[in-house]
Structure 1
Amino acid sequence: ILASGLPMHTAMMIAFVLNAVWWIVFTLPLARAYKQKHYIEPERHVIHDTFARLGKTLSSIKKEKKIFLFLLAFFFFIDGVYTIIDLATAYGTSLGLDSTGLLLALLFTQIVAFPASLLFASLSKTQDTAKLIKICILAYFCIACFAIQLDNIVEFWILAGAVGCFQGGIQALSRSYYAKIIPDNASGEYFGLFDICGKGASFLGLLVVGIVTQYTGQQNLGVAALTFMFLIGYFLFAKAAKLEK
């Protein structure tokens, strides 16, 4: 769009419209086929009853060790994933990429992520989901190790492609695995906690990278600290996977 000579403001408006059309087109099949099987009848005291159900869910998670360990593992490894994505633009800028180059790199990541996600979806039909999640976590561990010595644009593009290969897979597989181990009649509350662990963890990785970088003066050492988050997430998940539902 920018290459056509349009102003940046106009180009952004067109991009947002195309994005909205994309979401509408791919949401329609889901909206037509989706059926709510488990739900809770509306109650008189909505706020009070909502917090009461949340407290009940938190109490039940304490008893369900498998769910608790998975959420704890998810908190660590998904935060590492989000941190790598957030740091991508900073890395690209430090290597000399302009805004157009960064946009192309992000686009390349998404182009790679689309067929990779379909591949993981196909593998999940014949392979153990827990095994595939472990592979994704170890892959991100290797990506973090590779990012430690990253110092040129070619390696940055390799990193972008590697992230794209596992970005969609680790998120989709985690949601799928979690859906299998939680109670069907309380999926809303449990997935609410799942989202809290995912979105709420997004600060930890950046905090660790920032503290290590500030203390050592080297951003690469800050990225190296992410490897421990993936290791913690891997061992917690491996422990959770061994437990019965």
Structure 2
Amino acid sequence: MTADTAEPEGFTADPADRKREQRGWYFYDFACSVYSTSVVTVFLGPYLTSVAKNAADAEGFVHPLGIPVRAGSLFAYAVSVSILVAVLVMPLVGAAADRTGRKKPMLAVAAYVGATATTGMFFLDGDRYLLGAFLLIVANASLAVSMVLYNAYLPQIAAPEERDAVSSRGWAFGYTSGALVLVLNLVVYSGHDAFGLSEGAAVRICLASAGLWWGAFTLIPLRRLRDRKLGSGAEGAEGTEGAEGAVGGGWRQLMATLRDMRRHPLTLSFLLAYLVYNDGVQTVISQASVYGSEELGLDQTTLITAVLLVQVLAVAGALGMGRLARTYGAKRTVLASLAVWTLILAAGYFLPAGAPVWFFVLASAIGLVLGGSQALSRSLFSHLVPRGKEAEYFSAYEMSDRGLSWLGPLVFGLAYQLTGSYRDAIISLVIFFAVGFVLLARVPVRRAVAAAGNPVPARI
């Protein structure tokens, strides 16, 4: 950032060029969101669990690397490991991108490694639970790395007054593709007999199709986005620090940003609250299908329909919560959504097995608070970022988010490991929403906005 402008280095000043890049940028969300929806949320959890159970011993344990693991905990543990891997890789990739200015080829590598791993899930059958866990770790970590590079384009392709709209459109593109592919998955899965497929083969085709979709639509942003030339300072840094700088620079930059945040403790307090409750949100999303299939005995068609409900209602919920925020303020609206999340988990604990109607009611409630709680949290954080440090702070936001989001799946997996009950595992997640609620309630957001040097909105 320069002293006389609020625009980051590499900002596209020409409106027509910005529009072209923005349209391409939206399509990466369109490409990769099907992985999160079809693979992580719907198919892979129950299917990998069934594969692990095929390989389990008489007591229901598998033994990766000689470690006894309940077959039902394998998916949650693999998600946690994938995030830890991503946290190790992201600062290295971020440092390399900052020093070379070549985000696009790095985005391509991350996207196609993830898409290839997802497509490879077609070969996950029998008792190949280790293959499934490995492919999940690779694909999940690749998605996380690609999203850091993808998000880093936003300040360069959108002016400050455009960012809310551009970010929201990318989010909407992702939910649209997720719903579209789920409809196609539902046709393949529910009609697998008519297509001459076994149930397992239908699931593997749905998994692999998400990888093919991810890879195919990634071509659009790779054609539209462009790399930026670096200023002399960045080039000099690259030349003097070399490979050692590329390895350590990402972590040093993150630490420098966090040290700077100490001068804005209220911003840091909000970030901590968000990291805690968002970990709960992400864990509910990733583990809901396992809970529905293993604890409630629901079939895959029911789970797909429920996730479709979530996809559709998340858009409506975000718009509705946006209107509530204009009346009551974003902080109060997010706090209310956290209370609803807690009620959802309590209802899930008492949900009767074999009752798809009540599962649909619960999915509807999740959809109504999901999009709004995430969108308003990002909006709140944007008001707490000091002017001229948007990209730097949002980079730390993404890094920190990924850095903590392994904890929820780990808690879920440990709860099941110790109790053998998915009901106990799902209720254990209440702690994330309760602690997040308390931490957020203690943040004086109006004072935090003023302390960051930003104008305080009439309602926040």
For normalisation by structure 2, the TM-score amounts to 0.45
TM-superposed deviation, 1:10: 7.6
298, 302, 308: which is aligned to 1:101? 302
Q: Distance in 2 between matches of 1:226 and 1:14?
A: 31
Paired position in structure 1 for 2:22: none
Q: Distance in 2 between matches of 1:79 and 1:91?
A: 17
Paired position in structure 2 for 1:237: 440
Superposed CA offset, 1:40-67 (max 9, x none)? 9561324476655433211111232111
288, 300, 312: which is aligned to 1:111? 312
Paired position in structure 1 for 2:277: 77
TM-superposed deviation, 1:123: 2.8
Range 15-24 or range 94-103, more displaced: 15-24
Matched, 1:149 2:350: yes
- Backbone CA RMSD of aligned residues: 3.1
1:72-221 equivalences under 5 Å are: 72-94=272-294, 95-152=296-353, 153=355, 154-221=357-424
Range 123-132 or range 160-169, more displaced: 123-132
**Contact 1:143–1:163 (8 Å) recurs in 2:** yes
After superposition, the Cα gap between the structure-2 partners of 1:111 and 1:243, relative to the gap in structure 1 and judged at 3 Å, is: closer
Paired position in structure 2 for 1:35: none
**Contact 1:140–1:163 (8 Å) recurs in 2:** yes
Q: Distance in 2 between matches of 1:23 and 1:162?
A: 32
Amino acid at match of 2:304: L
Partner of 1:184: helix, strand, or coil?
A: coil
After superposition, the Cα gap between the structure-2 partners of 1:163 and 1:23, relative to the gap in structure 1 and judged at 3 Å, is: farther
TM-superposed deviation, 1:216: 2.7
Structure 1: state its 5+ residue gaps: 32-39
Q: Distance in 2 between matches of 1:203 and 1:52?
A: 22
After superposition, the Cα gap between the structure-2 partners of 1:115 and 1:207, relative to the gap in structure 1 and judged at 3 Å, is: same
40, 56, 70: which is aligned to 2:256? 56
Matched, 1:45 2:245: no
TM-superposed deviation, 1:98: 2.4
Q: Distance in 1 between matches of 2:218 and 2:369?
A: 22
Paired position in structure 1 for 2:429: 226
Q: Distance in 1 between matches of 2:217 and 2:309?
A: 18
Q: Distance in 1 between matches of 2:272 and 2:367?
A: 24
**Contact 1:133–1:170 (8 Å) recurs in 2:** yes
Q: Distance in 2 between matches of 1:22 and 1:183?
A: 35
TM-superposed deviation, 1:79: 0.8
After superposition, the Cα gap between the structure-2 partners of 1:15 and 1:217, relative to the gap in structure 1 and judged at 3 Å, is: closer
**Contact 1:76–1:229 (8 Å) recurs in 2:** yes
* Aligned sequence identity (%): 27
After superposition, the Cα gap between the structure-2 partners of 1:55 and 1:209, relative to the gap in structure 1 and judged at 3 Å, is: closer
Partner of 2:442: helix, strand, or coil?
A: helix
**Contact 2:254–2:396 (8 Å) recurs in 1:** no
TM-superposed deviation, 1:188: 1.3
After superposition, the Cα gap between the structure-2 partners of 1:12 and 1:56, relative to the gap in structure 1 and judged at 3 Å, is: closer
Partner of 1:45: helix, strand, or coil?
A: helix
**Contact 2:275–2:401 (8 Å) recurs in 1:** yes
TM-superposed deviation, 1:85: 1.1
**How many aligned positions are there?**
234
**Contact 1:130–1:241 (8 Å) recurs in 2:** no
Between 1 and 2, higher relative CO (CA 8 Å, sep ≥ 6) is seen in: 1
For normalisation by structure 1, the TM-score amounts to 0.81
Q: Distance in 1 between matches of 2:210 and 2:286?
A: 21
TM-superposed deviation, 1:12: 7.3
Q: Distance in 2 between matches of 1:225 and 1:207?
A: 11
After superposition, the Cα gap between the structure-2 partners of 1:215 and 1:51, relative to the gap in structure 1 and judged at 3 Å, is: closer
Q: Distance in 2 between matches of 1:219 and 1:11?
A: 25
